[in-house]
Amino acid sequence: MDALLTSEDRAFREEVRAFLAEKLTPELARAARRSTSVFHHPDVSQPWQKILHEKGWVAPDWPVQFGGTGWSDMQRYIFARECALANAPSLAPQGLKMVAPVIMHYGTPEQQAYYLPRILSGEDYWCQGFSEPGAGSDLASLKLRADSDGDHYVLNGSKIWTTHAQFANRMFALVRTSSEGKPQAGITFLLLDMDTPGLTVKPIYTIPGDHDFNQVFFDNVRVPKANRLGEENDGWSVAKYLLTFERGGKYSPGLTAHLSMLKKAAARTGWDQLPGNAERIAAEEIGIQALMAMEMKSMREPSQGPAAATRASMLKILGTEASQRLDLLALDIAGGEAGLETEDGLEDLLATALPRYLNNRASSIYAGSNEIQRDILAKAIIDMR
């Protein structure tokens, strides 16, 4: 990557490093290292979001008109990489990276003026209401009813696997407003307040004992129609737009940082001296470099349309499966060394290897399972013939 940097890029990298050295506290960095969840706890992510917001760096991918930085593609990549290498907490993506672009594209001026500043500041913490007990990868089969009643929809049903719903004050959700025609044709996209009467959040505990997921129940929950994004019964189009952002993220900065720590741990424990292990590390490094090249190429191409959706599926497969391989690598390196005492964070890496592995098994399922992504890629190839 260094060979691609201009003198301006290198100067920007030094600016980012200086900022991180000054503002990223050891406590926040250690909390981020010890996190084993898909998303960091709000006690970790929200203080860091406040620091970034004060600097004006909280939303590098947003257009300047809505509060973005105006950085180049390379600058955004440098920032993501340096944050990962410094163990900066990741910010909750449901607001900044998922619903915000949808509000920018489909929202009314009033919706944009109300929601976007609150997302930037962290005042609103969002969760995603897509999956249901009978509608996961086959999302079009969702059944959460939204019946029209004057200026409101009345919601009845449930959502499941709702990450951080216990912390959220907002949800974006797909609801069933019609049962006529194709299943996709009767879906509507809503923004709703989690404090609305009739809405109940119940925890789902995972194998490591974490509480990230929830089931959310709706019992005659009234949502103003003014909270709809896009047209009634056209929520499937809105959801597809959103999923491009959810699936097509930058995986390689975090993977690079993780592998860097694993290489240090392998050298410290002598694991890399055992037959075949150095080659295994090298193979993962080559794969991550290839993924980085694909991500950087993707940044220079249109962010929407059929080609962008196909790229997002490809990056989702490669990124999540590389992450799972690194989790396996961490387990093998950890072995009997989970009590290793160091001053560079390696003990955190090794001590969290197992819960991180267990949590991250979901990465190839959420945002559309990797099997579904392969179906999308296969269809795109067939359609090209």
Give the list of residues 6+ apart from residue 59 with CB closer than 8 angstroms, or none. Answer: 66, 67, 68, 69, 96, 100, 120
Return d(Cα 127, Cα 215) in angstroms, integer: 12
CA distances from 300 to 38, 60, 117, 348 (A): 27, 15, 27, 36
Three-state SS at 94 = helix
| CA 186 – CA 191 distance, rounded (Å) | 17
Contacts of 156 (CB under 8 A, 6+ apart): 144, 145, 147, 218, 219, 220, 221
Query: Amino acid letter at 315?
Result: L
User: Using an 8 Å Cβ cutoff, are 29 and 44 in contact?
Assistant: no
Question: Are 364 and 324 contacting, i.e. CB atoms less than 8 angstroms apart?
Answer: yes
The tokens for 326 are 């690194």
Based on the number of CB atoms within 10 Å of its own CB, is 273 exposed (0-12), middle (13-18) or buried (19 or more)?
Answer: exposed
Which residues are catalytically annotated?
A: 246
184's CB contacts (< 8 A; 6+ apart) are 140, 236
Residue 44 · residue 28 · CB < 8 Å = yes
Tokens, residue 79: 């920032």
